[in-house]
Amino acid sequence: MLKRDAIIVGLSPTAVRVGVLSGGEFARVERVGLDPDQWDDHWRQNLRPIDDALREACKGLRLRPGAPARLLYLAPRTLADIFAAPATGTAAVQAAELSLLQSLPDAGHGWITGTRVLGEQDLRRVSMSDAAPGQTNAASTKRTLVLTLAERADDADILANWVRRAGLTPRSIYPSKAALLLNAMRRTRAPGEQGTRLDVQLGEHACTLVGWINDELVLGRCAEVGYALLADAMYRSGRGAAREATFSRDAASRLLFSSGIPSRGQTVDQNLGLDADHVLPLFQPALQRYMIEIRQTARFGLMESDLSRVRVRLLGTGAGVPGLAESLATHTDTNVDRVEADTRRIGGAEDDQLGDLPAAVPLLDQGVWITPPAVRAAVTARSLDRAVHAGIAGAALGLAALGAFAYVEGVRVDERNSAIAPRVKALEADAEARSRMASQSAEFASLLSIANAGLGERPHWRGVFTLLAGADRPGLVVDEISADYQTERPTLSIRCTATGKNADGKDPASAFLDELARSPLVLSARVVSARVAPDDDDARELTLGLELATLPVHPGMFADAGAEDTE
């Protein structure tokens, strides 16, 4: 089955029908008959006794499980009628709603209600005899025909659950009576037509009667009589006359649509031995009902003057019963035209096979359908589930995206870190080396400071002693050398004895002193004391005083070791 195909399930007291609509036409229909006498029992048991009937019909059509379906039905508590509101527009609709609610038990609580404007009537033109064409009555006014519909919410759920139990997915439901009314208003309009006309659309269990004067809607109503009355009469006559226990309602229905209303003396079915004498007595009450409904409708809906000119058209599935139009014409004494049903589209199938299903077709695209609370709850639940799942999925995706982003960014940062890490490491090593050097320098300086504090500046003794070697010269004898570094400057005292003169005539001690004074190791050199030796007049005892140059403990003292190490 293609997706665009629609499935329409029909439920009436006499049959369960399932039709597959393809391209606006019924491609396949499956009908399973029901016993109308069990109708109330079925409802009391929430339609469970007829689950198998629907399953059988679905199985016959090989419908896929869960396929969406709409339901056209008859239910015991359905209200579908036309309210003639003496107003137009919103006021008419409000009046219809108010009337509907007032007619319902519990003021409409627990009911699904709806209204739909079918058309407006101009009361000036209701009667053709009161005024000449084109003339108007000054006191005329308008009224609005409103379809009022009410259904028990729990009945709607029963219907939806019945369809669901058969493996289909119920989408919406609609009462067949209301569908017939809507179709009657829509389909029986004949633009430009003059005259008075009453269109009777005969359904299986209901009929609609719509009156028109010059194509202006003047009345509309629904009566709960359908061709099922005739089928039932045929069934009962067949069972009674032929004593044929196997004569079924389906067979009776088929026989009705094949032989129709027989004339006196006519054989209805030779095999059953059924003739007009058996059938007509039982048909009469049904025909009487049709006749009464037509007459009463015309009498109360049309002016007396229009009754003689009224033309009756018989439409709908029931119009397919042969001889019915003629029989009605005889009984009502009016012209009854039969309009061919436009539902013979399933290749050889009888009209009764479809029942009222065709009435659903024009409504498929209209928002008139009732969504049962159970279906709405299921749809809402699905929507909520989808929303929850979407939310969860969104949150999960969001989390995953966040995680992935954080991971990818982490990898990118790691890569970047890895790229700059060597430079940073070098920088850190550089900083560490500088810090270590700074610390070492401070420590070094501290050491030198301690050494200088403890030892002070020192003379270069080796050099000084080398200088003193110059004292080894003729005429000069060193008696004592003493040094003292308890004062600020180291001093060196040389006690010596000088005799004679040098070759240049200079005192040898003076010459030695001059040499000492010239040395950079000596800051000052002077004769501290001098006297003639007591035992030798030619000799002089001298004391020479030297102030020595000093050097502090300095880093350069240790630089050589560093240089050697690095090299």
Partner 1 sequence: MSQTGFSLVTLVRPRLGRALVAGAICAGGWYAGVRPLERSLAAKAEAMHAMEVSLAAANEPGADAERLPREAARLEASFTGAKAWCESVTDPGQVYNALTRLASEHSVTLARIDPSGTRDVIVASTDSQQAPTARRRRGNQTAQASARGPVPEIIMYRLSARGAYENVCAFIADCETSLGASKVLSFSMRPALGAGAGVVEAEIETGHLKMPPTKKEEAAAKQKQGTP
Residue 456 binds to partner 1 (criterion: CB under 8 A): yes
Options 91, 98, 131, 424; binder of partner 1; rule CB under 8 A:
424
Residue from 38, 127, 137, 452 in contact with partner 1 (CB under 8 A): 452
Angle of CA points 291, 296, 298, to nearest 5° = 100
**Minimum CB distance to partner 1, residue 16 (Å):** 25
Can you tell me which residue has the tokens 């000119």?
A: 309
Closest separation in Å from C-beta 409 to partner 1:
5
Site for partner 1 in 329-388 (CB under 8 A): 368, 370-374, 376-377, 380-381, 384-385, 388
**H helix or E strand, kind and range, residue 53:** helix 51-61
Cα 540 to Cα 509: distance, rounded to the nearest angstrom? 9
Of 455, 530, 532, 551, the one binding partner 1 by CB under 8 A: 455
Does residue 430 touch partner 1 according to CB under 8 A?
yes
Pairing of strands 491-499, 476-484: antiparallel
- Name the residue nearer to partner 1 (CB basis): 504 or 564: 564
Looking at the DSSP assignment, which residues form a beta bridge with residue 550? 459
Answer for the pair 67, 163: CB distance below 8 angstroms, yes or no: no
Residue 72, C-beta contacts closer than 8 angstroms, at least 6 positions apart: 8, 9, 10, 11, 173, 174, 175, 176, 179, 356, 357, 359, 360
Residue 528 binds to partner 1 (criterion: CB under 8 A) = no
Asked if 98 touches partner 1 (CB under 8 A), the answer is no
Sign, CA torsion 292/297/303/308: negative
Mark residues 499-518: x for contact with partner 1 by CB under 8 A, - for none: --------------------
Minimum CB separation from partner 1 for residue 519, in Å? 16
- Give the C-alpha separation, 377 to 485, whole Å: 115
Instruction: Say whether residue 553 binds partner 1 (CB under 8 A).
Output: yes
Residue 238 within binding range of partner 1, rule CB under 8 A: no
SS3 26: strand
Residue number with CB closer to partner 1 (535 or 564) = 564
Task: Single out the residue of 317, 356, 358 nearest to residue 339, CA to CA.
Answer: 317
DSSP 276: H
Q: Which of residues 466-505 bind partner 1 (CB under 8 A)?
A: 468, 479-486
Q: Establish if 153 lies at the interface with partner 1 (CB under 8 A).
A: yes
CA distance 95 to 89: 10
Residue 420 engages partner 1 in binding (rule: CB under 8 A): yes
39 with 198: CB under 8 angstroms? no
Interface with partner 1 includes 551 (CB under 8 A)? no
Task: Determine, following the binding rule CB under 8 A, whether residue 434 of this chain makes contact with partner 1.
Answer: yes
Site for partner 1 in 105-144 (CB under 8 A): 109-114
Residue 39 in the binding site for partner 1 (CB under 8 A): no
Helix or strand holding residue 499 (H, E) = strand 491-499
Supply the minimum distance, in Å, between the C-beta of residue 448 and partner 1. Answer: 7
DSSP letter at 105 equals: G
Shortest reach from residue 362's CB to partner 1, in Å: 18
DSSP letter for 40, please: H
Q: How far is the CB of 115 from partner 1 (least distance, A)?
A: 9
Nearer to partner 1, 444 or 530 (CB): 444
304 vs 385 by CB, closer to partner 1:
385
CB 544 within 8 A of CB 509: yes
| Cβ-based nearer residue to partner 1, 131 or 401 | 401
If one counts every other C-beta atom within 10 angstroms of the C-beta of residue 111, the result is 21
The interface with partner 1 within residues 377-396 (CB under 8 A) comprises 377, 380-381, 384-385, 388, 391-392, 395-396
Number of residues that bind partner 1 (CB under 8 A): 90
